[in-house]
Amino acid sequence: MGRSRFESQSALCAPSRNSLLTSRRPDTLHLYDFYSYWRDVAGNFTTLPQYFKQHGYHTMSVGKVFHPAHNIHFPKSLRCTLNEMLCSGVSSNWSDDQPYSWSQYPYHPSTQKYKESAVCSNSDGTLGKNIVCPVEVHFQPGKTLPDLQSLHVAMKFLKERQGSHQPFLLAVGFHKPHVPLKYPRKYLKHHPLDSVQLPDVRQRPSALPTVAWNPWTDLRERDDIAALNLSFPFQPIPGNIHCHLSSPNTQPYTLVQSNIDLSIL
């Protein structure tokens, strides 16, 4: 699976998903955040899965398709006051747009709640919240990873639909590649460091519009990056970061992508 162009009409989860699933550009929806539900703010548009559902298809969502709600067990009135990021569920009405888009309630892997847990092995034997995080899957909480759970649920759905006369639409959204770069350690052997080429462009492109620039500091908040003792928030992360970490960020990204590619195949 080769790629020569990498483009996104909005390099952020909720706006790009809203755009794809409503078949409207972000500058038509005028939604660039996590906190606006397009049916209430932009228009009561028919989504792609909703169209299929209205025409007799059984529609099912597995994993991250619409931008999902975080900590959905909190009452709606408390989610935004507890943490701003909890408000992100607004973008899909706290429900992944169910029941409009889906015939049954969307599936989300239970182990996604451990996304920010300290489960990454450090060289000193401790566990950290690292950006680079190869893991032994059977030692993880639940002895699995979120995307593996989604893969198994999708496979189960396909098997159960065999022989059914009703057509179906199955949407499967894998969370990776997404920070933290957590992946099964066994994939390390498939992409040795000397086979990974670092990108030539390591600075912000001069023509990049401001709206596309990522101001987030989540990389610097990871334990392995924090250990570099960079002056927060302005000192650049070193270009030779692979000399400071156990492996360069480009290699883990490639490994995570390979894991997802194999799941799709």
Is 161 inside a domain boundary? no
139 and 222 within one domain: yes
State the catalytic residues.
13, 67
Grouping H, G, I as helix, E, B as strand and the rest as coil, residue 127 is: strand
Beta-strand pair 127-128/120-121: antiparallel
Rounded percentage of the chain residues whose pLDDT exceeds 70: 75
User: Over the stretch 10-69, which tens digit does the pLDDT of each residue have?
Assistant: 878 899 999 999 999 988 999 888 888 999 999 999 999 999 999 999 999 999 999 986
Q: What is the mean pLDDT of the chain?
A: 81
Is 40 inside a domain boundary? yes
Rounded mean pLDDT of 113-131?
Answer: 89
- Residue 10 CA, distance from chain mean position: 14
Is 167 inside a domain boundary? no
Q: Which residues contact 10 (CB under 8 A, 6 or more apart)?
A: 16, 19, 26, 32
79 and 34 within one domain: yes
Which of 57, 80, 108 terminates a domain? The answer is: 108
Please state which of the ranges 174-183, 205-214, 217-226 shows the lowest mean pLDDT.
205-214
Helix or strand (DSSP H, E) at 153: helix 146-161
Grouping H, G, I as helix, E, B as strand and the rest as coil, residue 180 is: coil
128 and 91 within one domain: no
Please say if the pLDDT value at position 146 is more than 60.
yes
Instruction: Quote the CA–CA distance of 12 and 34 in Å, as a whole number.
Output: 9
Q: Is residue 104 very low, low, confident or very high in pLDDT (cuts 50, 70, 90)?
A: very high
254 and 123 within one domain: yes
Please state which of the ranges 70-79, 143-152, 188-197 shows the lowest mean pLDDT.
70-79
Please say if the pLDDT value at position 188 is more than 90.
no
Instruction: Quote the CA–CA distance of 32 and 13 in Å, as a whole number.
Output: 10
Is 205 inside a domain boundary? no
Q: What does the DSSP 8-state code read for residue 196? A: P
Residue 205: C-alpha distances to residues 7, 141, 213 (Å)? 14, 40, 10
Please state which of the ranges 78-82, 144-148, 221-225 shows the lowest mean pLDDT.
78-82
91 and 140 within one domain: no
**Nearest-CA neighbor of 186 among 139, 152, 118?**
139
53 and 131 within one domain: no
pLDDT at 68: 85
123 and 69 within one domain: no
Is 159 inside a domain boundary? no
Which residues are 132's β-sheet partners?
A: 181
Q: Which domain holds residue 75?
A: 11-108
How many independent structural domains does the chain possess?
Answer: 2
119 and 44 within one domain: no
97 and 46 within one domain: yes
